[in-house]
Amino acid sequence: MEPELPDAPVIDLTESQAAARHGRELVPVPRPPNPDVEDLEGRLSDVDGWGRSEHMRRFVRTVFDPIYTRWFRAEWEGLERIPTAGGALLVANHAGAIPSDAPVIMHGIEKELGRPVYGLADFFFRSLPVAGTLWSRGGGVTAHPDNAHRLLHDEGQLALVFPEGVKGPSKLYKDRYQLRRFGRGGFVESAMRAGVPIVPIAVVGAEESMPILARSGALARILRVPYVPFTANVALLGPLGLFGYFPAKFKLRVLEPVYFDVAEGQERYPRSRIMEESEAIRSRIQGALFDMLSRRRSVWFG
């Protein structure tokens, strides 16, 4: 919508602000029954071990596809670099008051490659009444090292994470496309432990789909949320701007996968190596963004 996953409600495989705020340790979310297994009443469930429902995903794809193809007009470059089998950790930049990049990435890969994508995110999303269940049904998984390992290593799935965490979507429009720090590199350690590659993805368009003009720190503290933004969408559209994106042209560039020549399954890896790899990946995505922006003729037409 993963995976260290940060200081925010979006992705940190080593810590969770939400857990810290409530004074408890984050633990992996219990896994529900496997799909096609009878429940206690003898019915077949399409909900997998992570709470993802293919019926829900099919509904989401139907509803979101016109937005993906006609509103955002998403265009991919290097999609063939995403593995068609086996686990891989997808890492991308993150932006927009209500980020549009996660659904675009997940939808695009499922549509073009036919592979499900699980989005690793803060426990905050899973804890929301009703919305938390819908989030899980749509492929959301609580960002935790154990969950990441099972997805990537044991099940060979694709997992998506935004290492900037909340610092990405909360930044002001004047700071657009300037990547924030990638946490403490927990996503690198998770990929090393699982023995899977990291596939960086540079996304252009999300920054303009719902740009933030100002933030209210006081209101955020009162509501106990990471940030309360005032967006250009609300300024122009009023209340409708809370739910409507601008039709910015999306371009997504998949970079060469990063493989690690380390033994998988180790309890710990050198912190210096982790931070070095994390910064290298951040720099590659940042460089790709600058290149894509230099080639862009228009925010709306690409």
Per-residue confidence (pLDDT) for residue 299, from 0 to 100: 96
Residue 12 scores a pLDDT above 50: no
* pLDDT single digits (tens) 65-80: 999 999 999 999 999 9
How many angstroms separate the CA atoms of 159 and 12, rounded?
13
Give the pLDDT confidence of 213-267 residue by residue, as tens digits. Answer: 999 888 888 988 888 899 999 999 998 888 899 999 999 999 999 999 999 999 8
Is residue 265 classed exposed, middle or buried when 0-12, 13-18 and 19+ CB atoms within 10 A define those classes? exposed
Place of tokens 């699982």: 194
Token pair 């023995």 is found at 195
DSSP-H helix ranges across the chain: 17-21, 54-66, 101-113, 123-126, 131-137, 145-149, 186-194, 206-209, 217-223, 232-237, 271-295
Using 50, 70 and 90 to split pLDDT, how confident is the model at 125? Answer: low
Give the model's confidence band at 127: pLDDT under 50 very low, under 70 low, under 90 confident, else very high.
low
Q: How far apart are CA 66 and CA 276, in angstroms?
A: 40
Give which of 103, 93, 88, 134 is closest to 1, Cα–Cα: 103
Q: What percent of the chain is modeled with pLDDT above 70?
A: 82
In this prediction the pTM is 0.83
At 166 the pLDDT is: 86
Task: Kindly give the pairing relationship between strand 212-215 and strand 140-142.
Answer: unpaired
pLDDT of residue 41: 43
The least confident of 40-44, 64-68, 156-160 is: 40-44
